[in-house]
């Protein structure tokens, strides 16, 4: 009897090992079809991310997002090519001396190159984050050095002392301070998990102060939990509507709900998610009605058909709020509009990157811990 029992236990142990090996070979190292489809459709062999529906242009945001997705997908070859193309073509060969230009494409004379040398701070932060985490997860020290170079450039050129506020991330080195002393800010440029992470990498840096200052501005400005694309800070440090976009919440603001929902609860504290959770009824109504392209953040009035990328971006938000009905409606919409691994016909760049973020997080391909570090399937 004891011998039979021993055989049974041995059999169970062997079965457990087999299951573990199956998980290792299939689940842990499974390809990410959505990334493969995006890479084949939008990423050139040299690492340039092409926006086919905008004249074949490249933006630094796209390079940064693609680097992050390549890391999540455990695709080091594409990651390296994306980083090298970005550094060589958008930063004149060195992140240590120049922030990436935000816009590259066909010039008026027919040549291709940098069209606007101004930077975009959200892209700069995402690039630095991807490089830091690639160094940690793939054990590539040079990526860590490149990330430190980028972060130093951001601190020198994209962090300013706003009167009445304190240190703040501005959207770019030039163009966002008016003659009357107003500064224009973009809430979607500041993911909380990144700022928490950078404070660990750069303990003497301004990152925690930047987040605290930004959160204070949002607590005073937001209405019904809704986030604007842009707002301004006046010379006394008070948040006021943007003179260019007014009360509009649309293609930029959608990322604010996404970043807030991807920040883990244990890190959130008094973060952004408790504030934007107040918008649940408005966003839920937009999902049900299909009208969510543009929201007046003061009245909650929504109009315009909901873009496919918005549907994907809101998956983590409604999941975090345990709104299963809205999640199911979003999943059904996305399933109906997926063709050959991409969303829409023709597939638009921005829809695809929002889907990679939203669906990737919802499907547990990646997450962030309380310190902002990246968790991936393959690195577990």
132-175 pLDDT, tens digit per residue, is: 999 999 999 999 999 999 999 999 999 999 999 999 999 999 99
Q: Of 8-12, 15-19, 117-121, 200-204, which range is least confident?
A: 15-19
Note whether residue 54 is domain-resident. Answer: yes
Q: Is 122 a catalytic residue?
A: yes
In a domain, 64, yes or no: yes
Which position among 61, 80, 133, 229 bears the catalytic label?
Answer: 61
Beta carbons within 8 Å of 191's beta carbon, 6+ residues apart: 125, 259, 262, 263
* pLDDT tops 70 at residue 94: yes
- Report if residue 38 sits inside a domain: yes
**DSSP secondary structure letter of residue 105:** E
What are the distances in angstroms from CA 111 to CA 51, 89, 108?
A: 17, 14, 7
Using alpha carbons, select from 200, 203, 165, 196 the residue that is nearest to residue 181. 165
Q: What is the mean pLDDT of the chain?
A: 93
Q: Is 106 a catalytic residue?
A: no
Catalytic pick among 122, 133, 192, 323: 122
Res 40: pLDDT: 98
Residue 244 within any structural domain of the chain: no
- Average pLDDT for residues 281-298, to the nearest whole number? 97
pLDDT of residue 254: 98
> What is the reported pLDDT for 265?
78
Q: Which domain holds residue 62?
A: 31-157
- Give me the number of domains the chain comprises: 1
**282 occurs within a structural domain:** no
Q: What percent of the chain has pLDDT over 90?
A: 89
User: Is residue 52 domain-resident?
Assistant: yes
16 pLDDT above the threshold of 60? no
Check which CATH number belongs to the domain holding 96 and give it.
1.50.10.10
Q: Looking at the domain assignment, is residue 220 inside a domain?
A: no
pTM value is 0.93
Q: Which long-range contacts (CB under 8 A, 24 or more apart) does 343-346 make?
A: 343/308, 343/309, 343/312, 344/308, 346/52, 346/53
Band (366; pLDDT cuts 50, 70, 90): very high
pLDDT of 79: 98
pLDDT at 301 exceeding the cut of 60: yes
Residues 75, 35 contacting (CB under 8 angstroms): yes
Is residue 217 domain-resident? Answer: no
Nearest to 165 by CA among 242, 238, 272, 221: 238
């Amino acid at each position: 009897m004891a011998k039979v029992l021993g055989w049974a236990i041995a059999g169970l142990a062997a079965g457990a090992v087999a299951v573990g090996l199956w998980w290792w070979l299939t689940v842990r190292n499974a390809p990410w079809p959505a990334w493969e489809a995006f890479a084949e459709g939008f990423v050139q062999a040299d690492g340039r991310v092409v926006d086919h529906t905008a004249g074949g242009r490249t933006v630094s945001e796209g390079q940064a997002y693609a680097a992050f997705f390549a890391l999540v997908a455990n695709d080091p070859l594409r990651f390296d090519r994306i980083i090298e193309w970005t550094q060589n073509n958008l930063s004149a060969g060195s992140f240590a001396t120049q922030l990436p230009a935000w816009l590259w494409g066909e010039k008026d004379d027919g040549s291709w190159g940098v069209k606007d040398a101004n930077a975009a701070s959200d892209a700069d932060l995402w690039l630095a984050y991807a490089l830091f985490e690639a160094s940690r997860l793939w054990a590539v020290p040079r990526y860590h050095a490149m990330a430190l170079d980028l972060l130093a450039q951001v601190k020198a050129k994209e962090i300013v002392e706003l009167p009445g506020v304190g240190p703040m991330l501005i959207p770019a080195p030039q163009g966002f301070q008016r003659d009357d002393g107003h500064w224009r800010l973009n809430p979607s440029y500041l993911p909380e998990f990144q700022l928490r992470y950078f404070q660990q990498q750069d303990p003497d840096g301004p990152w925690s102060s930047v987040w605290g200052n930004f959160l204070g501005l949002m607590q005073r400005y937001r209405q019904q939990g809704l986030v604007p694309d842009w707002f301004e800070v006046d010379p006394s440090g008070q948040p006021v509507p943007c003179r260019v976009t007014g009360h509009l919440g649309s293609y930029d603001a959608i990322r604010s709900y996404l970043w807030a929902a991807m920040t883990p609860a244990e890190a959130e504290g008094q973060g952004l998610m408790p504030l934007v959770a107040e918008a649940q009824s408005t966003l839920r109504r937009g999902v049900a009605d299909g009208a969510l392209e543009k929201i007046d953040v003061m009245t909650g009035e929504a109009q315009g058909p909901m873009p496919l990328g918005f549907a994907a971006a809101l998956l983590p938000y409604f999941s975090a709020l345990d709104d299963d009905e809205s999640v199911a409606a979003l999943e059904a919409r996305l399933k109906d509009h997926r063709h050959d691994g991409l969303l829409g016909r023709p597939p638009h760049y921005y829809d695809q990157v929002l889907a990679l973020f939203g669906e990737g997080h919802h499907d547990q391909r990646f997450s962030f811990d309380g310190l902002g570090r990246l968790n991936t399937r393959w690195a577990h």
